[in-house]
Amino acid sequence: MNQKAPIIIGEYHIIPENLPADGQLRLVFQPIDMTTYWRRCGLTANFVAGFYSYCYEESETKANSLSTIINELLENASKFSKAREGRINVELKQYGNLLRIDVLNVASKTLRDSFELFVNKLISENVEEMYFSTLETKEDGDTKSGLGLLMMLKDYPVRFGYSFTEIDADTHEITVRAIINVEEI
């Protein structure tokens, strides 16, 4: 099995990979755990946000913003993963006031292609216009509209990068990387 080089889109390498972090937290989930008990995404997001925001002034506001961002990332990874054979890796690294959040999930080729197309659209189009257009055309029950990612880009000072790696023909790793200056949220 020859793993192909990842396709990188967006601001993935803002923080060099070899830069030592001031703090780090890793969590691993099976997507089925999150989709079966959906509240686990929110509980996990609240824990992680509290863990990283307690040392800041206005920590409750920062915790709420971080929780929203982390929850959206977890929900997306859960929805777009192979339910049983997949995994979701969440890695947070703190670099002073910068928090790097990597959420990796394992997806099928179809899901990967769809998300990669959406990400390329995010990079090339006006996010605010995309957000309102999606809001207007989204049908009830549509959970794959991209509205959560659009909301984060529109409402929070988050920089995103994306990595797409083919493991085999129908197994792909997708990493969404969010870089947040905690002082700015």
pLDDT at 4: 84
Rounded-to-integer distance, Cα 89 and Cα 66, Å: 18
What pLDDT does 178 receive?
97
**For residue 146, what are its two tokens?**
């991209």
- Domains along the chain with CATH numbers: 7-13+21-184 (3.30.565.10)
State which residues of the chain have pLDDT below 70: 1-3, 83, 139-145
Residue 114 CA to residue 123 CA, distance in Å, equals 15
Q: What confidence score (pLDDT) does residue 141 get?
A: 59
φ/ψ of residue 95, rounded to 5: -130, 85
Mean pLDDT in the chain?
A: 88
36-57 pLDDT tens trace: 777 888 899 999 998 888 777 7
pLDDT at 7: 95
What is the greatest pairwise CA distance in the chain? 50
pTM greater than 0.75 (yes/no):
yes
